[in-house]
Amino acid sequence: MGLPMAAEVQARAPLTPVTHRVVGRRDETADVVTLLLEATDGSRLRYSAGQFNMLYAYAVGEVAISISANPVDDGPIAHTVRNVGTVSRALCGLHPGDSLGLRGPFGSDWGLDSAAGGDLVIVAGGIGLAPLRSVITQVISQRQRFGDVEIVIGTRTPEELAFKDEVSAWRERDDLSVHVTVDRATPGWRGTVGVVTTVLPRIHCDPAGVALICGPEVMMRFTALALLERGMQAAKIRVSMERNMQCAVAQCGHCQLGSVFVCADGPVLTWERVEPLLSVRQL
């Protein structure tokens, strides 16, 4: 964990956006879009699963977006964006040939190297599947490095599930165990109904393994508690925190959570470190 690419970030001038062109676009749901990006100067961004970039919609503003691409793949960098505000709306309106500014990568990663050799439990809620997609695709491309892999994906309705075709492909593999659950079923849904914690008692969970969780804060809290009850260690449960990140270099203070700057110390943090901070009101 930490900042494995700090020297490279400095070399790229962390406060100066690099122009990237949209080379592909995929509409995931009614309000979620995946953009495929390549630098106009031909440079290639190196990053680790779990890190994020600051995306700048020209003349509109900048926002922190997790990287959703496989870090060991040679393809374009991918960002999956939900239309929830002025900047994200502008980003979701981009199409192939359009340009945007990009700063990064920033922050800590999921620490897959330290998880190699053991079992993985991956739990995603809603758009939290986007930063975990980088993990899942890397694990698949390096499948021999890991033990059993349990993936639990939760979403409000079947229509709001991102990466539908990929999730279907993951579920067909015999070297992954993939569970999808929805809060509310709609006509045609024949799968599980309920929050992700209702699925956890049914999965294989090695207390010595590593868990990776991303989603709404309340979902991550209850998921971590459920995994602790299964015998997992708080130090091996990792969550990706979301805060109002504006500078991405721990200078502005907007993302401060107690003694933690989420943009630099996170976004990926162990539950051992996060839980005491979340227990303090108004942090």
pLDDT of residue 244: 85
Q: Is the pLDDT of residue 133 over 80?
A: yes
Distance CA 33, CA 70 (A): 17
Q: Is the pLDDT of residue 2 over 50?
A: no
When mean pLDDT is compared across 4-18, 106-120, 233-247, the lowest value belongs to 4-18
- The mean per-residue pLDDT over the stretch 91-108 comes to 97
Q: How far apart are the first and last CA of the chain?
A: 23
Distance CA 217, CA 228 (A): 17
Q: Where are the alpha helices (DSSP H) in 93-236?
A: 112-115, 129-141, 164-172, 217-229
Percent of the chain with pLDDT over 70: 95
* pLDDT tens per residue across span 217-264: 999 999 999 999 999 999 999 999 988 899 999 999 999 988 899 999
Average pLDDT, the chain: 93
Q: Which of 86, 85, 84, 92 is nearest to 34 (CA)?
A: 92
The CATH class of the 112-240 domain is: alpha beta
Q: Which of 75, 154, 146, 88 is nearest to 114 (CA)?
A: 146
Q: Which comes out higher in pLDDT, residue 10 or 88?
A: 88
Whether residue 105 is preceded by a cis peptide bond, meaning omega within 30 degrees of 0, is: yes
Residue spans of beta strands (DSSP E) within 225-281: 237-240, 256-257, 260-261, 268-270
- The mean per-residue pLDDT over the stretch 1-27 comes to 71
The CATH code belonging to domain 6-106 is 2.40.30.10
* pLDDT tens per residue across span 52-72: 999 999 999 999 999 999 999
- The mean per-residue pLDDT over the stretch 142-165 comes to 97
Contact 81, 66 (CB under 8 A): no
pLDDT grade, residue 270 (50/70/90)?
Answer: very high
Task: Give strand pairing partners of 128.
Answer: none
Other CB atoms within a 10 A radius of the CB of residue 66 amount to 26
pLDDT grade, residue 281 (50/70/90)?
Answer: low
Segment (H or E) for 214: strand 210-214
CA dihedral for 161, 163, 266, 204, sign (positive or negative): positive
Q: Is the pLDDT of residue 115 over 90?
A: yes
- Which residues are within 8 A (CB) of 213 and not within 5 positions of it... i.e. 6 or more apart? 122, 123, 124, 128, 219, 220, 223, 224, 237, 238, 239, 240
Distance CA 100, CA 88 (A): 12
pLDDT of residue 14: 85
149-155 and 177-182 strand pairing: parallel
Residue 11 three-state SS: helix
Q: Is the pLDDT of residue 11 over 60?
A: no
Q: Is the pLDDT of residue 4 over 80?
A: no
* Rounded (10°) CA dihedral 214, 218, 224, 227: -100
pLDDT of residue 280: 73
What are the residue ranges spanned by the domains of the chain? Answer: 6-106, 112-240
Distance CA 14, CA 16 (A): 6
pLDDT grade, residue 282 (50/70/90)?
Answer: low
Q: Which comes out higher in pLDDT, residue 259 or 89?
A: 89
Joined tokens for residue 279: 């227990």
* pLDDT tens per residue across span 175-208: 999 999 999 999 999 999 999 999 999 999 999 9
Joined tokens for residue 229: 């009850």
pLDDT of residue 5: 42
